[in-house]
Amino acid sequence: MISNLINRKIFTLLKVQYSNMLEYRVEIALWAISGIIPFFMLNIWTNNNLNESINISDTLLSRYFLCAFFVRQFSVVWVVFSFEEDSLMGKVSPYLIQPLNPFFRYFAQHLAEQITRFPFALIIAFFFFIFNPESIWIPNLGILLLSIVSTFLSFLIQFLIQSIVACLCFWTEKASSIERLLFIPTLFLSGLLAPVVSFPAYVKSWIYLTPFPYLIDFPANLLSGNETNISGGLIMQILWILILFPLFKKIWSEGTKKYTAMGS
Amino acid sequence: MNLRKYLKVYKKFLHTSLASELEYKTNILVDLITAILSLVGSIFLLSIFFQNNGYIGGWKFEQALIIQAIYTILNGITNTWFNPNLTEIVKHIREGTLDFVLLKPIDSQFFISLKKINPSGFLEIMLGFLLLFFCIRINQINLNLSFLTLSFITISCSICILYSLWFFISTTTIWFVKTWNAIEVLRSFLYIGRFPLSSFSFTLRIFFSVFIPIAFITTIPSEVFLGLSVFWKILLEIIVATIFLINSRKFWLFALKFYSSASS
């Protein structure tokens, strides 16, 4: 009964948000294009033969960066910015009255955006294969499913981290600058610009304990067929979600007590 | 007399926007940490590239650092002036408040490009200069008058090109209303400016010098610093910068003809 209700709510939210997102196709296409940095990085790597020193062939490296692009496309999160705007405009108050945590709304928004984004990402991949025909490959079904799961887990980790930061809006109004700060380690350590295997040893010794390599490097390695510890990676992803979720619940309940309805 | 009027107005702009930005003091601190981390991150990335290679696209590590320094300075300028103002254009057009700007007895492009200022960008500019001085020392560059003039000219041209690029995209808002995603695309392309142009493949090099002249923005000033610059390149940069500036002006005046206000 209860699960049925939740299902219906989530389904309705998704449907509403999907039709909302379809209105902004051009914007989402532009978002997709703005994620092509991994391809520029690939160009630097292969053009200077940098991959020889880390023992990854050209083909595997180009697959890695393509997968990094894909994983990034489906794990982009912007809760902080939405929540900050809603909180500054006083839109959070009506959401709080509803018998549904407002973050479900944002969650549905993100999922709907990903569905809208999918065809654009495929088009970009298509162009990538035209320029790099030798890197075409078909991952087997098991690996494909596992990498979809791990991409989703990566999305969940980032969604939880950003939701925690977003809750800081209850205290400081401008939480987005904290998010911009957190984005820097995500950018450089997640494997978006360089695969984690290429990092110097003094970084590799501690980086696997942080959530960063599991955001892009792990799912991308998995999907592209590069060497990676599958079970270890998935366990670490789930572990981080288990750590972050209670933290989010705690800060949410503290924050809503502190809430003073801005803009009304 | 006209110039004096504009200077006086600009002083007022500075005063009001500084006063409002300084309301968020912790924000400025967070932004400073972000700027430092982002510089550390990109030097880290650069060090990965140079791990087993002495040269990237013919540049040594110490020389490539100059590009990072110039990029940081320009990024600081972008964050101080271009970003806060030109994202405001989108808001003006969406909410129809551009009417008020157009009615003022002052040049609308001047008003719209310089109204706001974000003081945390200053820290990034200073950070860039610190790195630049460090680079001048480790590369043993002799400071003399002709060198200083040349570097001043090239960096000013870079600023003009950068401004025009931002302004072009923001102006298109008059037709497309919501183009802040296009700004994200520009941002991701500008990221290329962190690396020497010669480290990319031939097609990308052509693309980044003809279609989006990012090549001119950081590589040519850095070459001036290293004494590698050729006269025609500097001349070309001056020409490109002039063309961009004049066209940004023309484009703005052209676009205004199509402005039909919102909600009226």
What is the token pair recorded at A186?
């995500």
Please determine, for residue A264, whether its predicted confidence score (pLDDT) is greater than 50.
no
Closest residue in chain A to residue B176, using alpha carbons only: A26
Bridge partners (DSSP) listed for residue B50: none
Per-residue pLDDT of chain B (264 residues; tens, 9 = 90+): 588 889 999 999 999 988 888 887 888 888 889 999 999 999 999 999 888 778 888 889 999 999 999 999 999 999 999 988 888 888 888 888 888 888 888 888 899 888 888 888 888 999 999 999 999 999 888 888 888 899 999 999 999 999 999 999 888 888 876 666 788 888 888 888 888 888 898 988 888 888 888 877 888 899 888 888 788 888 989 999 999 999 999 999 999 888 887 654
Bridge partners (DSSP) listed for residue B56: B59
Measured between beta carbons, the chain B residues lying within 8 angstroms of A47 are 57, 199-201
Spatial distance between the Cα atoms of B247 and A98, rounded to a whole number of angstroms: 51
Residue A9 banded pLDDT, cuts 50, 70, 90: confident
Measured between beta carbons, the chain B residues lying within 8 angstroms of A48 are 49, 53, 56-57, 199
What is the token pair recorded at A33?
């294009």
Q: How many angstroms separate the CA of residue A8 from the nearest CA in chain B?
A: 32
Q: What is the pTM of this model?
A: 0.89
Residues 34-53, chain B, touching A (beta carbon < 8 A): 34, 37-38, 41-42, 44-45, 47-49, 51-53
Cβ pair A200:B51 closer than 8 A: yes
Measured between beta carbons, the chain A residues lying within 8 angstroms of B184 are 30-31, 34
pLDDT digits (tens, 9 = 90+) for A57-87: 888 999 999 999 999 999 989 899 888 888 8
Q: How many angstroms separate the CA of residue B190 from the nearest CA in chain A?
A: 10
Kindly state whether B23 is in contact with chain A, defined as any CB-CB distance less than 8 angstroms: no
Higher pLDDT, B180 or A138: A138
Cβ pair A184:B199 closer than 8 A: no
Q: Which residues of A touch B (CB under 8 A)?
A: 24, 26-27, 30-31, 33-37, 40, 43-44, 46-50, 52-53, 172-174, 177-178, 180-181, 184-185, 187-188, 193-194, 198-200, 203
Closest CA to A15 of A90, A105, A87: A105
B183, B85 Cβ separation under 8 angstroms: no
* Dihedral angle over CA of B106, B108, B113, B114, nearest 10: 20
* Dihedral angle over CA of A182, A184, A190, A195, nearest 10: -170
Spatial distance between the Cα atoms of B92 and B109, rounded to a whole number of angstroms: 13
Q: How far is CA B97 from the centre of its chain?
A: 26
How confident is the model at residue B128, as a pLDDT?
Answer: 94
Tokens 């979720």 sit at which residue?
Answer: A245
Amino acid identity, residue B90?
Answer: V
Q: Kindly give, in sequence order, each residue whose CB lies less than 8 Å from that of residue B3, ignoring residues fewer than 6 positions away.
A: none
Nearest to B56 among A48, A172, A181 (CB): A48
Cβ pair B200:A43 closer than 8 A: yes
ipTM of the complex: 0.86
Residue A150 banded pLDDT, cuts 50, 70, 90: very high
Spatial distance between the Cα atoms of A79 and A81, rounded to a whole number of angstroms: 5
pLDDT digits (tens, 9 = 90+) for A244-254: 999 999 999 99
